[in-house]
Structure 1
Amino acid sequence: MQYKILKLLSYLICLLPYRLILLLGQGFGRLYYRIAARQRKRAVAQMQESLQISAEQAERIAVNLFENLGRTFMEVMYMPAFTAEKMRRYVTVENRHYLQEALAEGRGVVLLTAHIGNWEWLGAALAMLGLPITTVIKRQPNDQHTQILNEYREMAGIEVFASGTSELVSAAKALKKGKILGFLADQDAGQHGVFVDFLGKPASTPLGPAVFAKRFRAPVVPVFIVREPAGGHKILVSQPLYYQDTGNEAQDLYRITEQMTGIIEAMIQQYPDHWLWFQKRWNTPPEAVKASEQQTAAAARRGQGA
C-alpha cells in the first residue's frame, strides 16, 4: 500500500512545473521541521557540538536543512520526469574532466560522496551524461522505500548493488570493468568501521571505498552536489586521490580513509544546511569496537586451541 501511495504521489508530482515542486518541497520541509522534534533536536545539538555555534545559529541552519530536505524529497518523486534535457537545464557540472581523466586510466573509479544536497540527482545526472555509474546502497528500513528508490535509480541508468550482500561481488566486477562505483561514505559503520575524527569526534567510518581503491588501484574522485540559490544544482568534482601502498595495509587504509573523511568534513562545513545533521553519525562508541575486536581475538585463540 505504501508503495502504491508513493507511486501515485510521484505521478502527480511529475505533472507539476519544477518551480512549483521546489515551493511545495520548501513548505513540506518546514512542516517536517515542526513535527519531527526528535530529529530537529538531534540536528541542533550535533551542529552546536561539531560546528561550535550557538543554539540560535544551529536552529537557523536546521530550518534551511529541513527546507532543503523537503525539496529533495519532491525532486526524488519527480525523477520519472527527470529527462536528460531537464537534467541539462537544472544541473551543471564543474570540473567534469577529473572524472573523465580518471576513467581513462582504465582501472575504474571510486566515487566518494555523502548525504549532501540531492545525492539521488547526483547519480542520475552523471548517468544521463553517459558515465558508467554504479553504486553501493544501504537498504532503507522500509522495503517499499528501497524498491521505489532503486526503480528510479535504474530508470536513470544507475546500476545498483546492496551493501552487506553477495552483490558486492558484482560491484567489484563493475569496477574491474572500468566503471564508476559510488559510495555514500558519511554514515556510522558500526563495529566493522575504523575510527576517524569526524567534525571533532571519533566516528566509526566505512572502509569500503578504501578497500576497493586498494584492491583495484582505482582513483578516488570526490563528487558532491549542492543547490544553487536561484534553483537547480551544481555538481562539484574534485581532483582524485590514490591509495598509497607503503607495505603497512592497516595504516594505508586508515590514511586514505582519513583523507576522504576530511574532504567530506570540508564540504559539510562549507554547506552546513545541505547535510543530514540528524543522522546518528557517532552512534557507535569506540569501546564497542574494541570489545568486538577482543571477542574476535578470544574466539580465534579458542579455535587455535581446539
Structure 2
Amino acid sequence: MRTSPRERLSDALYGLGWSTVKKLPEPVAQRLGRAIADAAWKKRGTGVLRLEANLARVVPDAGPERLAELSRAGMRSYLRYWMESFRLPSWSEERIREGVVVQELHHLTDALDAGKGVVIALPHLGNWDLAGAWVTTELGVPFTTVAERLKPETLYDRFVAYRESLGMEVLPHTGGTAFGTLARRLRAGGLICLVADRDLSASGTEVTFFGEATRMPGGPALLAQQTGAALLPVTLWFDGPVMRARVHAPVPVPESGRRAEKTSVMTQAMADAFAEGIADHPEDWHMLQRLWLADLEERRP
C-alpha cells in the first residue's frame, strides 16, 4: 500500500522524537515541549480551536480569555504527554515509580487479589502510557491494551514496539479479533486498559457528557458483563513534577435488563466518572478532535 508524503513525514517525525528526545536532559525536553506547545497555540490551528470548543462545554461559564488560558495550558499538557512518552523507554524503574501517585488504588488491588479480571477505562487525560508503565513496574502486573491502526503501517509498528517495551500487550483496534482476545485475558484473571472517551467505530453507546449527547465505546461494559471482570474508570492529571491518578469505584452491572440496556447504564456511569475527572482538571484533557454528536453532524455534509 502506497503512503502519502504527509504519512511519511509523520512517521519520520515520530521516529525522530523517540530517537532524539529521549537523549535530551529532562529540563531541556521540558522547555522544548513548552516552546512547541506555545508556538502551536499561537498559530490557532484546527486542533487548538477544536480543543477550545470542547473545553467550552466542560467549563461553560468560561469567557474567551479563560478559554484561551485553558487551551494554552492544554497544549502544554499535551506536549508534556508527548515529551514524556518519547522519553519513557529510557526512564529507570525508580523514575517511573516516583512519577506517579495513585489514589484509591485498593479498588484495583482488591479485584486483582480476588482473582477477578479487571477492565481499566480511561479518558484522554494526563499520560496514560506513563500510567501503564507504572502498573507494570510498581505492581508487576502485565496488561493488554488496544491501539488504533495508524497510517502508515510503519508508524503503527513504532507505537506497538514502544508500548510493548513498557510491558504491554498491544492488539489492533481493527480486524475483529481484539474483543475475543480481551475476553480470554479477563477470564484468566488478567488486566486490560482501554482509552474509552472517544468512539472510533461510529457504533458506540450514546451517553450524555457535559449535558450533550455523544458516543463512547460499549466494549468496556460488554467485557465486564460477559466475563465478570470489574470495570474501573481511572482519571489522571499532572501535578507539578508528578502525575496523579484516581481509581474510581467499580461500575456495577445492573441486575436486570437486556444486554444493550445494561451496557447503556454502565457506559453512562463510566462517562460520568470521566466527566468528574475532566471537570476537575480540564487543562489535562487532550481532546483535539470532534467528540459530541452535534459537532460530528456538522461535519458530515
TM-score tier by shorter-chain length is 0.7 to 0.9
Taking the TM superposition and a 5 Å limit, the aligned residue runs for 1:207-222 are: 207-222=218-233
- CA gap of 1:123–1:70, structure 2 versus 1, over 3 A, is same
Which residue, out of 227, 233, 239, partners 2:243?
Answer: 233
Q: CA RMSD in A?
A: 2.2
Pick the structure with greater CA Rg. 1
* Structure 1 portions without partners, runs of 5+: 289-306
Mean CA deviation greater in 92-101 or 136-145: 136-145
Stretch moving more, 197-206 or 4-13: 4-13
Match in the other structure for 2:254: 244
Residue by residue, what CA displacement relative to the aligned partner does 1:55-95 show, whole Å, maximum 9, x if unpaired?
Answer: 22111100000011111111111122023121023222223
Partner residue, 1:20: 28
Match of residue 182 from structure 1: 193
Match of 1:262 in 2: 272
Aligned letter for 1:20? V
Q: Report the Cα distance in structure 2 between the residues aligned to 1:285 and 1:60, rounded to whole angstroms.
A: 23
Residues in 1 aligned to 2:268 and 2:40: alpha-carbon distance in whole angstroms: 34
For the residue of structure 2 that corresponds to 1:192, the secondary structure is coil
CA–CA distance in structure 2, aligned partners of residues 7 and 141 of structure 1:
14
- Tell me the alpha carbon deviations over residues 126-164 of structure 1, each in whole angstroms, 9 at most, x when there is no partner: 112212221122223443332222111100101111223
Q: 2:125 aligns with which of 106, 116, 130?
A: 116
Correspondence for 2:39: 31
How far apart are the structure 1 equivalents of 2:238 and 2:89?
A: 20
Structure 2 distance, partners of 1:286, 1:216, is 33
> CA contact under 8 A between 1:25 and 1:72: conserved in structure 2?
no
- Residue 224 of structure 1 aligns to which amino acid in structure 2? T
Partner Cα distance (1:227, 1:201) in 2: 27
- Residues 141 and 269 of structure 1: CA distance in aligned 2, closer, same or farther (over 3 Å): farther
Number of paired residues? 287
CA distance, structure 2, for counterparts of residue 163 and residue 273 of structure 1: 27
For 2:207, the aligned partner's letter is V
Residue 204 of structure 1: CA displacement?
Answer: 1.6
Q: Against the structure 1 CA distance between its residues 142 and 264, is the aligned structure 2 distance closer, same or farther, given a 3 Å change threshold?
A: farther
Gaps of 5+ in 2: 1-7
Which AA in structure 2 matches 1:236? Answer: R
> 1 CA distance for matches of 2:14 and 2:131?
21
Distance 1:42 1:4 in 2: 26
Please list the CA deviations of residues 81-111 of structure 1 after superposition, one character each: whole Å capped at 9, or x if unmatched. 0231210232222232221111123230010
Which residue of 1 is the match for residue 15 of structure 2? Answer: 7
Residue 207 of structure 2, aligned match among 179, 196, 209: 196
Cα drift, residue 234 of structure 1? 1.7
Task: Show the counterpart of 1:84.
Answer: 93
Pairing 1:67–2:79 present: no
What is the identity, as a one-letter code, of the residue corresponding to 1:180? L
Deviation string, structure 1 residues 199-221 (Cα, Å, up to 9, x no partner) = 11100221000100100111111
Give me the whole-angstrom Cα distance separating, in 2, the residues matched to 1:249 and 1:6. Answer: 41
Judged with a 3 Å threshold, the aligned counterparts in structure 2 of structure 1 residues 224 and 286 are, in CA distance, closer, same or farther, namely closer
How far apart are the structure 1 equivalents of 2:293 and 2:157? Answer: 26
C-alpha distance in 1 between matches for 2:150 and 2:41: 21
The alignment-based identity, stated in percent, is: 25
